[in-house]
Structure 1
Amino acid sequence: MLTSLVHHHGVLSRAQLTRQTGLNRSTVGTLIGQLISLGLVYETAPAGEGQVGRPSPDVHPSPSIAALAVNPEIDAVTIGLVGLCGKVQKKIRFETERIPSAREAVNIASTVIAGMRSELDASYRITGIGMAVPGLVNRDDGVVRHAPHLGWRNEPVARMLSEATGYRCQAANDASLSAEAELIFGAGARQGNLIYLNGGASGIGAGIIADGHLLKGASGYAGELGHTFVRTAGKTCHCGATGCLETEVSQSRLLELAGLSSGDTADLEQALSSGNSAEVNEEVTRQLTFLGIALRNAVNIFNPEVIVLDGFLGTLHALAPASLDGMLISQAMDGPAGQVKIYRAALGSDLMMIGAAELAFTQFLADPADIGATPGTLPAPTSQTG
């Protein structure tokens, strides 16, 4: 519990930890002492002056505890090193000339991690690897059941990457992991009910947080809002249905109008906002209309406090910020529509790495003492004080 609080909130004083856990001061002191002896946290004198009474030391997360994150996409595999508190220490994007197979993605990731190994062994204790995949992923076994844009079916990527690296590995849907990251560290902080949607080269993914917990469904596949029905006369989707959200709301069309073959969200937004052509405005309005239909349905069904838009969906909203709000007010039910607020994702390009790492931190946070048994990690370092 204490490790999770320090991880999620950063530096906390002993007094704050006592209040948040509801435990007595003596118990909290004993638990902190155990975490210090394991090298998982360290204490410093409290900041500030003029404190009354006995000062309460500040408890910091150890900078040596970290997780590896992997995110395969249709044009690249990104590997990251993420510390506690969601701090991205390193990120390497390995671009591919074609869509990587599951084996190719694993080979790329394991090769990059092997190149980092001397640094990892010297300076970090790795809790494991989290893999964020754009598709249907069973969290229990780390098997990608179907990642349509990658062309993967029934690929045991977690086991493959674990065998290739020696680190414990878990895999899950990328949007679900991002939703959890935004809930903990980003735009959804302190909100219990959140809908996250990301738009990118691999389509539209979503994650739903209900009462502070990720909505998983029977097999972990819940949240596929990219396949929400939005248009009767729509195109046929790769899923076999017609009129899905991600067939009508597409990054590729926006890149085409912006005169870009590829590029990050900032490049796309700048190109679209500076163009100011009738064709661009018409397409932005069209896509926002279909996005609004999907969000109307989601708001009525889930009654979220916050909708977080990421990727090119955040760009669409930024180009016409009043549009989606107006559609929800006019089309969704009064109660849910009046409660929800739309935000852009706050964690930027690091979001996927933070979300994947959070998956790798799960077992460590549940049992911090277990980190010593993780393959490829070092013994606990001497605790830091000061």
Structure 2
Amino acid sequence: MKPKRTADSALAKKLNRAVVIDCIEKYGALSRADIARLTMLSPSTVSSIVAELVDLGIVLESKGTAASSGGRRPILLDLNASASCAAVVDVQVSRVLYGVVDLAGKPIWTAKEEVDLSSPEATFHQVFQIVAKTLARLPRTGAPAAGIGVSIPGIVDTNTGTVIKSTRLKWKELPLANRLEQEFSLPVYVDRDVRAAAWGERLYGLARSADDFVYVMVGKGGLGAGLILGGRSYVGARMQAGELGHMTVDIHGKECSCGNTGCLVTLTYPAIDEVRRYNEKDPIIDCAAIGILNLMNLLDPELVVLGGDIGQEPAFVEQVEKVVQERTFLTPRKNVRLVASQLGEIGIVLGLAGLVFDKFYWKRAFGNVG
């Protein structure tokens, strides 16, 4: 029985450590008492874990502001931003956004350029070159790279980093992570753009306190959803969860590029790009709103965050919220929360960096620690 108790103890320690790190990552500078309160771990457990993190250089201590009662200033704990960084690249149909993000979730620098969609090979070559020049600037940051993150519109096998299919980029069965790892000798994480955006909202946006929420991206590339359920990114059995645009809404409708007929995206794309011109109720917005409403009725999330270059437009948000309030099955209706993302497109690279740290940095940092 002793080996089992030892194993259970080691597992509990790892889980508690992850809870503490997640708490600091989500809320920023906190005292030990704050962490104990937010995580419901005992003060002694928190103190032990924090001491380990400080010794490893992952967490830094600083003096907080004086208490209003004039008492001692609390010692605040925050992630050591210079402990690591991630090189991140988000590829969209209109542009490529890339840069470096530190361990505390702050962009060290970012840049943007038009995407080359002249051929699948040209797009890959551009991504390859962007990764190369991003890594070339890493020594200037002073932080060692945990890895490389790439997000794309399409279906991705997150276990292997293979792009199963991206209609917009015309990629199919592309072992993107493998090819980049071979060239740059760093671990590579590849995910769908909308899932990276959802993770960004969980870490740094309006969904910090939500364990169950949906991020809906509406833009030139169509409609997609990133699902965070139980505090984790839900990808589905075939890595295809969240294909909101391919929800069938009209069995006698138009043929979709996926081969089905009557997909939601056939009613909203490319017309969804014209939403900016409308200030009043528009049937295109209503179609998208019904899709979002169906998703809400199905999952009963705490929160829905609207993002994407169209999803954050005031006219779109206002009309979607109106449709949801009129038609939702969820009760009480006043508790149905639907908000526009405040992070914008930077939320994708922030979430992508967070996923890179989760997959690579934390595992390496604690590889030899029980």
Which residue of structure 2 lines up, in the alignment, with residue 11 of structure 1?
A: 29
Whether 1:143 aligns to 2:162 is yes
CA contact (8 A) 1:207 1:223 kept: yes
CA contact (8 A) 2:64 2:73 kept: yes
Supply the distance in 1 between the matched residues of 2:103 and 2:138 (Cα, whole angstroms): 19
Give the counterpart of 2:177 among 158, 172, 176.
158
Which residue of structure 2 lines up, in the alignment, with residue 349 of structure 1?
A: 345
Query: 5+ residue gaps in structure 1?
Result: 258-267, 273-279, 373-386
Aligned residues: 347
Whether 1:60 aligns to 2:78 is yes
**Shift in CA distance, 113/321, structure 1 to aligned 2, threshold 3 Å:** closer
Aligned amino acid, residue 11 of structure 1: A
Supply the distance in 2 between the matched residues of 1:57 and 1:367 (Cα, whole angstroms): 27
Which residue of structure 2 lines up, in the alignment, with residue 44 of structure 1?
A: 62
Supply the distance in 2 between the matched residues of 1:366 and 1:114 (Cα, whole angstroms): 20
Please tell me the root mean square deviation across aligned C-alpha atoms, in Å: 2.7
Which residue of structure 2 lines up, in the alignment, with residue 134 of structure 1?
A: 153
Which residue of structure 2 lines up, in the alignment, with residue 290 of structure 1?
A: 287
SS of 2:331 mapped into structure 1? helix
Whether 1:191 aligns to 2:187 is no
**Shift in CA distance, 210/51, structure 1 to aligned 2, threshold 3 Å:** same
* Superposed displacement of residue 23, structure 1: 4.2
* Superposed displacement of residue 332, structure 1: 3.0
Give the counterpart of 1:72 among 91, 94, 105.
91
Give the counterpart of 1:306 among 284, 303, 308.
303
* Superposed displacement of residue 244, structure 1: 1.7
Question: Comparing both chains, which one has the higher relative contact order based on Cα–Cα distances under 8 Å and sequence gaps of 6 or more?
Answer: 1
Supply the distance in 2 between the matched residues of 1:129 and 1:32 (Cα, whole angstroms): 28
CA contact (8 A) 1:307 1:342 kept: yes
Which residue of structure 2 lines up, in the alignment, with residue 277 of structure 1?
A: none
**Shift in CA distance, 321/150, structure 1 to aligned 2, threshold 3 Å:** closer
Which residue of structure 2 lines up, in the alignment, with residue 213 of structure 1?
A: 232
Deviations 1:275-332 (A, max 9, x none): xxxxx457x602111012212221221112221111244245x115543233223333
SS of 2:101 mapped into structure 1? strand
Supply the distance in 2 between the matched residues of 1:22 and 1:331 (Cα, whole angstroms): 38
Aligned amino acid, residue 218 of structure 2: G
CA contact (8 A) 2:196 2:349 kept: no
* Superposed displacement of residue 135, structure 1: 0.7
**Shift in CA distance, 285/62, structure 1 to aligned 2, threshold 3 Å:** same
CA contact (8 A) 2:138 2:145 kept: no
Q: Which moved more, 1:155-164 or 1:98-107?
A: 98-107
* Superposed displacement of residue 337, structure 1: 5.0
CA contact (8 A) 2:89 2:131 kept: no
Deviations 1:249-283 (A, max 9, x none): 23x4465x5xxxxxxxxxx85xx3xxxxxxx457x
* Superposed displacement of residue 203, structure 1: 2.2
* Superposed displacement of residue 190, structure 1: 1.1
Give the counterpart of 2:124 among 73, 85, 103.
103
CA contact (8 A) 1:110 1:164 kept: no
**Shift in CA distance, 25/334, structure 1 to aligned 2, threshold 3 Å:** closer
Q: Which moved more, 1:148-157 or 1:19-28?
A: 19-28
Give the counterpart of 2:324 among 319, 328, 344.
328
Which residue of structure 1 lines up, in the alignment, with residue 15 of structure 2?
A: none
* Superposed displacement of residue 365, structure 1: 6.2
CA contact (8 A) 1:134 1:174 kept: yes
Supply the distance in 2 between the matched residues of 1:350 and 1:49 (Cα, whole angstroms): 35
Deviations 1:189-223 (A, max 9, x none): 21222121112232222112223222221132211
CA contact (8 A) 1:129 1:360 kept: yes
CA contact (8 A) 1:138 1:145 kept: yes
SS of 2:137 mapped into structure 1? helix
Deviations 1:8-41 (A, max 9, x none): 2211112212333444444433432332232212
Query: 5+ residue gaps in structure 2?
Result: 1-17
CA contact (8 A) 2:92 2:115 kept: no
Whether 1:124 aligns to 2:124 is no
Which residue of structure 1 lines up, in the alignment, with residue 9 of structure 2?
A: none
User: What pairs with 1:157-306 in structure 2 (closer than 5 Å)?
Assistant: 157-250=176-269, 252-253=270-271, 255=273, 269=276, 272=277, 280=278, 285-306=282-303
**Shift in CA distance, 244/36, structure 1 to aligned 2, threshold 3 Å:** same
Aligned amino acid, residue 306 of structure 1: L
**Shift in CA distance, 231/105, structure 1 to aligned 2, threshold 3 Å:** farther
Supply the distance in 2 between the matched residues of 1:371 and 1:72 (Cα, whole angstroms): 32
* Superposed displacement of residue 173, structure 1: 1.1
**Percent identity for Structure 1 against Structure 2:** 27
**Shift in CA distance, 354/321, structure 1 to aligned 2, threshold 3 Å:** closer
* Superposed displacement of residue 88, structure 1: 1.7
Aligned amino acid, residue 314 of structure 1: G
Whether 1:92 aligns to 2:111 is yes
